[in-house]
Amino acid sequence: MTTITDPSYVDPALINPRAVRLVEAFKDALIRLRDEEGLPYDDLNAAADVLQKIQAVTGAPLALMAMPLYSELFQDGRDGYTPSDDVDSPTYIPGSPRIGNPGTLPMRPDEPGTPLIASGRVLDGHGRPLAGARMEIYHAANNGNYSGQYDDGVPTHNLRGHLFTDADGRYAFTTVTPIAYTDRQVAAIDGIAEVASALGRSLYRPAHSSPAWSAPNLRFE
Ligand SMILES: [Fe+2]
């Protein structure tokens, strides 16, 4: 028997198909807006700001629900539509140390987690290797916390680093396998997990790292 332990898994029995359809309709409308008028990153920030204010007043974590929707809009666009070529995100910290290529992210001697080696190539929009692209890599530790966000004694740049792709656009680095994590304050709100499940979403973000490129118009394989 297989047991699913991934906390970002949503039991299909909990999904409300009509609610999913309504959210999809909203998404379709936003996709039209994106393709007809454009949907810059400033729009995302403005919308998230309003949603966060509503959350502060009502306790309803609408911003959390909306963010995955927006990421899908930005990432699914024509011609590799992307909101920005910068590397900024709420968990990004500038000044990460340079690591080798292949290299290893800075980590504590007893860093918990399953070792992971990630590798690939950075290509331009025509599929040609991009040499010397700066790649920022950062992800949460095995307890779901990013370094430098809490006063928890973890070094600021733990599990954060950058490297430059080789002549063939290749990169490789060693780290620990990221895990799914959630915002514990949000997850503690009464009934919110049920609402998320009804929409086919989880309060947990799937395990991920956050590689970002310093050059625009790139894709990776
Ligand atoms: Fe994250």
pLDDT digits (tens, 9 = 90+) for 94-104: 899 999 999 99
Q: Give the model's pLDDT for residue 24.
A: 86
What pLDDT digit, counting tens, does each position of 186-197 carry?
788 888 888 888
Residue 57 backbone dihedrals phi, psi, to 5 degrees: -80, -40
User: pTM score, two decimals?
Assistant: 0.70
**Ligand 1 centroid to 181 CA: how many Å?**
8
**Ligand 1 centroid to 27 CA: how many Å?**
22
**Ligand 1 centroid to 34 CA: how many Å?**
25
Say if CB 175 and CB 137 are below 8 A apart.
yes
Which SS3 state, helix, strand or coil, does residue 137 take?
strand
Taking each helix axis from N to C terminus, what angle separates 62-75 and 41-58, rounded to the nearest 10 degrees? 170
**Ligand 1 centroid to 43 CA: how many Å?**
21
